[in-house]
Amino acid sequence: MRALVWVLLAAFVNATVAVAGVPPVSPPIPLTAARKRASSKFVAPPPLPPIPLTTDLPSALESDLPDLSSPASVVLPMHEQYQIGYEMMLQMRAQHQLIGDPEVEEYLNSVGKRLAAQSPLGAASFHYFCVNTPVINSFAAPGHNVFINSGLILFTHTESELAAVMAHETAHEVQNHIARKLLNAQHANIDSLAAMLATILLGAASGSGNAIAGGIVASQGLAAQEQIDYSRSVEEEADRVGLELLAAAGFDPEGMPDVFEKLMRLQGLQDAWVPAVLIGHPMTADRVAYTRAHAAQYPPVPDTSSPDYHLIKARIRVLTAPADDNVQRYFAVRIAHGHHSLGTMYGNALALMRERRARQAVKILTKLLQRHPDLHLLYIALGQAQAQAGAMPQALATFAHAERLFPLNVPVTVRYAQTLMADGKNGQAHNLLRNLFNLVDPTPGEIELTARAASAAGDLGGAYYYMGYYQLDTGNVPLAVKQFQIALGMPNLNPVQRQRIIAALKQAKGYLMRMRRHQGS
């Protein structure tokens, strides 16, 4: 029960911008440290040094902030936070609530880590995910995990607005708000707290505002006014620290009051049915004015929206469109009205590919690349369109060129490997993926792709080895043990492979023993 309460409480505490509802529980962190220890061939690149806060700007280090070594860190130690975040991510991945798109994941993490690098914690431990829901919301979860709903990304107008929301959520993690909230609520009745939060999450998953409101009325726990007041003070702190991270990372500080003002206007149309306690700290005029006044203390920054921001917004629109939705018509109408922006044309090409009209997409993407030869997302889309159109040699040439231009880029390498496999070049795909993921941490989907490439290339030992780590990263520890055992029994293993598998098997068995002890306690 204790672990369940932590998970539910974390999801409740940090749902901070709920406008059209509350998102489901949060996602998984890959066992990256585990993989690194188990692989004798792993060579981690040196971490990038954090970008220091500029001395002419108000600094998060200079703010009147709580002592992060306070009793809150004892209530929920960091290792427990990482475990909770991992379990939450497992739930979301299992329910297919995350957009597991390499291009989207890469972009969100590039923005998020740019923000987190400005904090004393640095960027290495932070992970950013896209939740597949039109609900306009974002939330932080234990273990330095931040979740941005696809609906919120589409709602923003500039990259600084998106970065502002991400900075606010990052600030929740920097200030250890989850543990502090638990410390503040330590006298709450655990059973009623779990019941209330379980009802909230069930109602969120079903989209039923009435179910959520009913659960709150039937429970007590955190409904006390003092808890709501505490949440508001936490939100103010996250706004203040988030602004500092936003400005230090080079984004426009006005992005925060701008997006808050838009949310306030939207919220005014929704308040009739959104439970007030879930908003708890609404987008008020005072909050907008507060962030506007603090943003004015920083030097003005012009609109810094990168081309990738516009491309990713268009990509998310296509990825999240229902199967029966003619999303291509959306872009066609915009083009007919004279909107020929980079994002609109890219989105139109993706929508055409979705309708199996790849030849038209190739023409559009070829022209875009002539004007923007430095954008890796365009090379990826062109290579995929060429492959879909049956021009496989041209597709592979496009990806090979992109691989030279953007070495060790995860989306480029993953899409290149997928195309190689479609052309029967499984050994080359396996080598590409193995070389990449010896240096960067793969997601579960990317581990599975590597396993399939190894199997197709005839490396059965490698295939079972990678599938073992896929099972670990998706929470199936017993099956991971079996996969490693099968891998160890494969013939023709070289000494390095054998030692890697032995280390991985030992590690998985250790996880399994601890898991069974925990279940028995």
pLDDT at 268: 67
What is the per-residue pLDDT across 141-164, written as a single tens digit (0 to 9) for each? Answer: 888 999 999 999 999 999 999 999
Amino acid 441: pLDDT: 86
**40 within some domain:** no
Domain span at residue 424? 309-520
Q: The tokens of 200 are what?
A: 């909230």
Domain co-membership, 107 together with 255: yes
Are residues 416 and 325 part of one domain? yes
Answer with the one of 230, 262, 295 that is the final residue of a domain.
295
Beta strand extents in 145-187 (DSSP E only): 145-149
Residues 266 and 323 both lie in one domain? no
Domain end marker among 263, 295, 327: 295
Q: Where are the alpha helices (DSSP H) in 251-375?
A: 255-270, 276-279, 285-295, 307-319, 327-336, 342-354, 358-371
- What would the DSSP string read from start to end of 352-387? HHHTT-HHHHHHHHHHHHHH-TT-HHHHHHHHHHHH
pLDDT value, residue 117: 97
Q: Is 45 within the bounds of a domain?
A: no
Residue 332 in any domain: the answer is yes
Does residue 41 sit within a domain? no
Flag whether 302 is in a domain.
Answer: no
Structure tokens given for 325 = 């939705």
pTM of the model: 0.79
Amino acid (1-letter code) at residue 268:
G
Pair (278, 327) in one structural domain: no
Q: Same domain for 194 and 326?
A: no
How far apart are the C-alpha atoms of 488 and 291, rounded to whole Å? 58
The reply to whether 269 and 392 lie within a common domain is no
Q: Is 43 helix (H, G, I), strand (E, B) or coil?
A: coil
One domain for residues 418 and 511:
yes
Q: What is the total count of domains within the chain? A: 2
Together in a domain, 285 and 313: no
Q: Which two tokens stand for residue 163?
A: 């970065």
Tracing tokens 């490439």 back to the chain, one arrives at 453
If we measure between CA atoms, which residue out of 180, 113, 115 comes closest to residue 142?
180
- 270 CB neighbour count, 10 Å cutoff: 16
Report how far Cα 12 is from the mean position of its chain's Cα atoms.
18
| Predicted local distance difference test score (pLDDT) of residue 389 | 98
Residue 38 covered by a domain: no
Residue 407 counted as domain residue: yes
Note whether 375 and 285 are same-domain residues: no
Residue 339 contacts by C-beta under 8 Å, 6 or more apart in sequence? none
If asked whether residues 287 and 347 sit together in one domain, one would say no
Give me the residues paired with residue 147 across strands: 129, 139
From 250, 266, 295, the end of a domain falls on 295
User: What sign does the CA torsion over 264, 267, 271, 274 have?
Assistant: negative
Element (H, E) at 171: helix 159-174
Least Cα distance to 342 among 331, 357, 326 occurs for 331
| CA Rg value for the chain | 24
The reported pLDDT for the residue numbered 286 is 86
* Domain assignment of residue 378, yes or no: yes
The CATH number of the domain where 324 resides is what? Answer: 1.25.40.10
Phi, psi of 145 (to 5 degrees): -110, 135
C-alpha–C-alpha distance, residues 117 and 271, integer Å: 36
Secondary-structure breakdown of the chain: helix, strand, coil percentages, each rounded to the nearest 5 = 65, 5, 30
Q: What is the DSSP letter of 157?
A: S
List, for the chain, all residue ranges whose pLDDT scores fall below the cut of 50: 1-72, 187-228, 272-281
In this structure, the answer to whether residues 364 and 263 fall within a common structural domain is no
Based on the fold, state whether residues 392 and 494 are members of the same structural domain.
Answer: yes
Res 62: pLDDT = 40
CB 139 within 8 A of CB 23: yes
CA-CA distances (angstroms) from residue 43 to 429, 440, 441? 20, 9, 11
